[in-house]
């Protein structure tokens, strides 16, 4: 298993280019199942989760062509052709490695009238059920049973006894769910009539997916608000390479680099990103004393000396993202003062705390609240990554710790960060991958 070896204490200086958003790329890749024509996506990040999704789609019969395979220099352009899907199934072997595989359920059911998708299990950050996805699809007339660990779904039976089109419905989810909203929005694009999604998630990744679907011919309004209206159409069309959908910049990768500079100090410009998607995090960084100067498609961040500890509460967008909680906690670990962090989205998202404590941090957890008291210096140690964002927080802590920090199990990091250690090296961090 690969590890990252970090020698802390370097200031960060220079430029980093931000990649396309993981949590937009995954639903966008699955949305290509909705059309019988090839769909081209651009600004696709190079990530293990993207590779897993491509494997999942290829296993169903989707033909995948990367621009690089055509001898093209554009590594971030991919064309997917779901014209010959023969196996509308997501097997356990793939789903168990990536919960976002559930995003094929809506598109498969909408286009083929049937789907067989392994039930995702629990994961390091909580039990994470998918009951809302199932409830919403049932409201659209789907017949769904869960047996032998699989969600077996088919569309409402037509007069010919065959599964037919889903029916538009008004759906109010019990809580705000990001992939739940995405699954239902995708399913509704090919349903008969109008679907209204109430209590919809407002994340920028939802807007990105809606924009892709609209470019493919879907009729959607209200994306980015709590009520999304979708008028079903008979079919969606493809997108040629010239019409490629550009995936939005990764706001969590952006926020991770902002926190790294805030904690380690330095002066860095993040290119190809969008500060507007990250206002809650930028506000908190400013409170911590970090200078953040947004431009049209870049952000300049600079910091010197210790930051000030800042408390926050995770919330759905536009609130403070749960996916930034661990990285901001790492910054608080070396800040002046103490601050309370409340995690409201996931039940078990403090797995990084014990590892941060191994590095000398002072953190006390009580239920959903972690109180961090900053220390003047962390000290390097061997630590273990437990999930994607926890790994990123350990890397940030390693950048500021005295001596050597070895972060083990970084396959979690590779799932969702595009060449993170290379990007950090590019701005002066002393970090290397140790193969193992």
The first and second tokens of residue 415, run together, are 């799932």
| 26, 32, 33, 36 alpha-carbon torsion, rounded to 10° | -170
Write out the binding residues for UDP-N-acetyl-alpha-D-glucosamine.
Answer: 99, 128-132, 323, 345
At how many degrees (to 10) do helices 22-31 and 178-189 cross?
A: 30
**Number of residues binding to ligand EPU, judged by CB under 6 A:** 23
- In the chain, the largest separation of any two C-alpha atoms, in whole Å, equals 72
Q: Work out whether 20 is an interface residue with ligand EPU (CB under 6 A).
A: no
Contacts of 70 (CB under 8 A, 6+ apart): none
Around Cβ 286, how many Cβ atoms within 10 Å?
Answer: 13
Nearer to ligand EPU, 178 or 282 (CB): 178
d(CA 416, CA 2): 15
d(CA 206, CA 189): 14
Q: Work out whether 323 is an interface residue with ligand EPU (CB under 6 A).
A: yes
d(CA 100, CA 109): 16
Q: How far is the CB of 314 from ligand EPU (least distance, A)?
A: 8
**Which of the residues 30, 123, 259, 333 is marked catalytic?**
123
d(CA 27, CA 31): 6
Q: Work out whether 322 is an interface residue with ligand EPU (CB under 6 A).
A: yes
Q: Work out whether 345 is an interface residue with ligand EPU (CB under 6 A).
A: yes
Q: Tell me which stretch binds ligand EPU (CB under 6 A): 21-29, 164-172, 190-198, 292-300.
A: 21-29
Q: How far is the CB of 74 from ligand EPU (least distance, A)?
A: 24
The three-state (H, E, C) secondary structure of 3-56, written as one string:
EEEEECCCCEEEEEECCECHHHHHHHHHHHHHECCCEEEECCCCCHHHHHHHHH
| Positions 173 through 192 that interact with ligand EPU (CB under 6 A) | 175, 177-180
Q: How far is the CB of 65 from ligand EPU (least distance, A)?
A: 24
Write out the binding residues.
Answer: 22-23, 99, 128-132, 323, 345
Q: Work out whether 23 is an interface residue with ligand EPU (CB under 6 A).
A: yes
| Positions 99 through 158 that interact with ligand EPU (CB under 6 A) | 100, 126, 128-133
Q: Work out whether 251 is an interface residue with ligand EPU (CB under 6 A).
A: no
Binding mask 405-424 for ligand EPU (x = CB under 6 A): -----------x--------
Q: How far is the CB of 289 from ligand EPU (least distance, A)?
A: 27
Nearer to ligand EPU, 231 or 344 (CB): 344
| Positions 374 through 403 that interact with ligand EPU (CB under 6 A) | 388-389
Write out the binding residues for phosphoenolpyruvate.
Answer: 22-23
d(CA 330, CA 357): 10
Instruction: Give the SS3 label for residue 373.
Output: strand
Nearer to ligand EPU, 284 or 306 (CB): 284
Nearer to ligand EPU, 128 or 368 (CB): 128
Q: Work out whether 346 is an interface residue with ligand EPU (CB under 6 A).
A: yes
Nearer to ligand EPU, 206 or 424 (CB): 206
As a whole number of Å, the end-to-end CA separation of the chain is 5
Let me know if 123 is a catalytic residue: yes
Binding mask 71-100 for ligand EPU (x = CB under 6 A): -----------------------------x
Contacts of 375 (CB under 8 A, 6+ apart): 333, 334, 360, 361, 362
d(CA 204, CA 202): 7
Nearer to ligand EPU, 329 or 345 (CB): 345
d(CA 210, CA 291): 33
Nearer to ligand EPU, 68 or 146 (CB): 146
In degrees rounded to 5, what are phi and psi of residue 219?
-115, 100
Interacting residue ranges for ligand EPU, rule: CB under 6 A: 22-23, 26, 100, 126, 128-133, 175, 177-180, 322-323, 345-346, 388-389, 416
Q: Active-site residues: which are they? A: 123
């Amino acid at each position: 298993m690969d590890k990252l070896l970090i020698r802390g204490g370097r200031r960060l200086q220079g430029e980093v280019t931000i990649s396309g958003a993981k949590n937009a790329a995954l639903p966008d890749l699955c949305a290509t199942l909705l059309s019988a024509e090839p769909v081209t996506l651009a600004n696709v990040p190079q990530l293990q989760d993207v590779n897993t999704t491509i494997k999942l789609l290829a296993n169903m019969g989707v033909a995948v062509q990367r621009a690089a395979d055509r001898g093209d220099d554009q590594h971030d352009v991919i064309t997917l052709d779901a014209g010959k899907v023969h196996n509308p199934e997501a097997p356990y072997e793939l789903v168990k490695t990536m919960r976002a595989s559930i995003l094929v359920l809506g598109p498969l059911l909408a286009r083929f009238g049937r789907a067989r998708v392994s039930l995702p299990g629990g994961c390091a950050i909580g039990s994470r059920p998918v009951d809302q996805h199932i409830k919403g699809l049932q409201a659209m007339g789907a017949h769904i049973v869960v047996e032998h660990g699989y969600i077996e779904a088919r569309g409402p039976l037509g007069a010919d006894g065959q599964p037919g089109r889903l029916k538009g419905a008004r759906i109010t989810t019990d809580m705000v769910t990001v992939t739940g909203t995405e699954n239902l929005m995708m399913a509704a694009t090919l349903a008969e009539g109008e679907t209204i999604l109430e209590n919809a998630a407002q994340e920028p990744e939802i807007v990105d997916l809606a924009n892709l679907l609209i470019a493919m011919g879907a009729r959607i309004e209200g994306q980015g608000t709590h009520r999304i209206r979708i008028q079903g159409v008979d079919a969606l069309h493809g997108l040629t390479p010239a019409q490629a959908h550009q995936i939005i910049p990764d706001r969590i990768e952006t926020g991770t680099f902002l926190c790294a500079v805030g904690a380690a100090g330095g002066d860095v410009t993040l290119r190809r990103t969008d500060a507007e998607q990250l206002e809650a995090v930028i506000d908190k960084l400013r409170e911590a004393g970090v200078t953040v100067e947004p431009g049209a498609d870049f952000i300049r961040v600079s910091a010197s000396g210790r930051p000030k500890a800042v408390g926050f509460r995770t919330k759905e967008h536009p609130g403070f993202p749960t996916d930034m909680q661990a990285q901001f906690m790492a910054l608080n670990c070396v800040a002046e003062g103490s601050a309370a962090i409340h995690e409201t989205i996931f039940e078990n998202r403090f797995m990084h705390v014990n590892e941060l404590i191994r590095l000398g941090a002072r953190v006390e957890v009580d239920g959903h609240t972690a109180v961090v008291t900053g220390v003047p210096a962390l000290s390097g140690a061997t630590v273990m990554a437990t999930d994607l964002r926890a790994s990123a927080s350990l890397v940030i802590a390693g950048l500021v710790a005295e001596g050597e920090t070895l972060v083990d199990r970084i396959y979690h990091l590779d799932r969702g960060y595009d060449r993170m250690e290379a990007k950090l090296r590019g701005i002066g961090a002393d970090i290397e991958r140790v193969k193992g």
